[in-house]
Chains A and B, each alone.
Chain A
Amino acid sequence: MKNFFADLSMNKKLGLFAFVLGFLALFAGSPYHGSEATVNAKELALIVEKEVDHVSVQTLADWIIQGKSDFRLIDLRSEKDFAEYHVPFAENILLSGLDQSNLQHNEKIILYSDGGIHSAQAWMLLEAKGFKGVYILRGGLEEWKDQILFPRIPENPTPAQVVEFAKTKEVSKFFGGTPQSGATLEAATPKLSMPKLDAPAGAQSKAPPAKKKKEGC
């Protein structure tokens, strides 16, 4: 056997090598690692049209305050932006990293980016990969800043709005924000500083994971 191999010419050895590699390929499986996906365009269009895939910043804030932990909040911005500020309990996953992330198909996933574009694109990618419980934070971090961190009371507020704003203020303070009262509008506010990254006291840890009823289907 040894002689047989040694007697072969270089070309025949290479040919034999190619044959062995080719033969092993029969059992080595597919070279694609599932980075391609197909979508049901109609189904997606309906979801988008009915906007059942959106979560408002107020709802998210309420969930965090209530200590819900049945969802995963994904920050799609760059690591640098993430380090500067992110919504409490958010995880940082880049768009290109979604493929290799440890997200599970049965999890409730809430995506946010600066505006809404990247999260919408990520939503599309995840839907195409068969994730069913994916939601977009409406308006993204911009909206989070406007509505939660630095809310403003409207000019000449109605009594109802005043009551509403009192609640908003509490929410804002919980997240370390600075509510803008009507009097100190624009000119008086030089630069709004983002809150520190420490988790708000008392959130999440105390409450047992509350079961949120399934949405969607």
Chain B
Amino acid sequence: MIAPFFKYGLFGEDISLVVAFITGIGFGFFLERAGFNSAKKLAAQFYFTDLTVFKVMFTAIITAMVGLYYLSVIGFLDLSLVYLTPTFLLPQVVGGLILGFGFVIGGYCPGTSCVAVSTGRIDGMVYLGGIIFGILVFGEVFPLVSNFYVSTSMGQITLPQITGLPYGLLVFLVVLMALGGFVGAEWIEKKMASKKAGASL
């Protein structure tokens, strides 16, 4: 059992920043290759004409899930040491909605806006400026919302803990959910495309 490398002390804080940098560049590269530097493509998600975002993200999720699961089963990785973001249910629902509004209006999410900036898009730069301004505003008003910010704390929970189902079964169910989602997404895309073709005739 040797992973997570950082927690087993294979490298320190400074090297971990280098690792984060390389991983981040890789992440950005593949976002760009998926066409996520275009606000039009990203916003099309919300009009159901192009569900690439959904498909890419869900693919990433199940790839990571299946990978982590099997690496743990064979004993290469200690899953109990992998950091989990703690759940604060209500604040995260509200935060997700705000992020969603920003996504539709601005055409980017935080990661893709950085990709857009690095490919030289001006709307991406404006968006990134907005993010920084938003961070400043949030920092200033934090004392007012701090109570809400830490409310409905549920700790670091996972689906197997909530549902009580065996881990492997949940892996299978999430894979099924993703595959069903992909089929559904393709179907919707086709339907919207034929509707659009009909409308433009």
Residues of A at the B interface (CB closer than 8 Å) are 11, 15, 18-19, 21-23, 25-33, 35-36, 100
- Cβ of B98 within 8 Å of any chain A Cβ, yes or no, is no
A22 touches B171 (CB 8 A): yes
B78 touches A33 (CB 8 A): yes
A33 to B80, CA, bound (A): 9
Chain A residues touching B, majority SS: helix
Instruction: Identify which of B1, B168, B182 gathers the most chain A CB atoms within 10 Å of its CB.
Output: B168
A30-B167 contact given A19-B175, A22-B175, A35-B80, CB 8 Å threshold: yes
Residue from A22, A23, A27, A32 in contact with B79 in the complex, judged by beta carbons closer than 8 Å: A32
CB distance from A125 to the nearest CB of B (A): 14
Residue from A18, A26, A33, A35 in contact with B66 in the complex, judged by beta carbons closer than 8 Å: A18
B66 touches A25 (CB 8 A): yes
**In the assembled complex, which residues on chain A have CB atoms less than 8 Å from the CB atom of B21?**
none
CB distance from A95 to the nearest CB of B (A): 13
What is the 8 Å Cβ interface bit string for chain B, positions 168-201, against chain A (1 contact, 0 not)?
1101101110110010000000000000000000
A54 to B31, CA, bound (A): 59
B168 touches A25 (CB 8 A): yes
B70 touches A18 (CB 8 A): no
A18-B179 contact given A26-B172, A30-B166, CB 8 Å threshold: yes
